Amino acid sequence: TDFCGPPRTFPHAFLRKKGRYFVGQVLHFKCQRGYEQRGPSSGTSTCRKVNGQISWTHLDMRCTN
The domain tally of the chain equals 1
Residue 38 pLDDT > 90: no
Mean pLDDT throughout 40-51?
86
Check whether 43 has a pLDDT greater than 90: no
Residues paired with 47 in a beta bridge: 56
Is residue 20 within 8 A of residue 43, CB to CB? The reply is no
Using a 10 angstrom Cβ sphere, with 0-12 exposed, 13-18 middle and 19 or more buried, the burial of residue 35 is middle
What is the pLDDT confidence band of residue 17, given thresholds at 50, 70 and 90? low
Helix (H, G, I), strand (E, B) or coil at 43: coil
pLDDT of amino acid 49: 94
- In this predicted structure, the answer to whether residue 1 has a pLDDT above a threshold of 70 is no
CB atoms within 10 A of CB 33: 7
Q: The domain spanning residue 47 has which CATH number? A: 2.10.70.10
User: In terms of residue numbers, what domain contains 51?
Assistant: 3-64
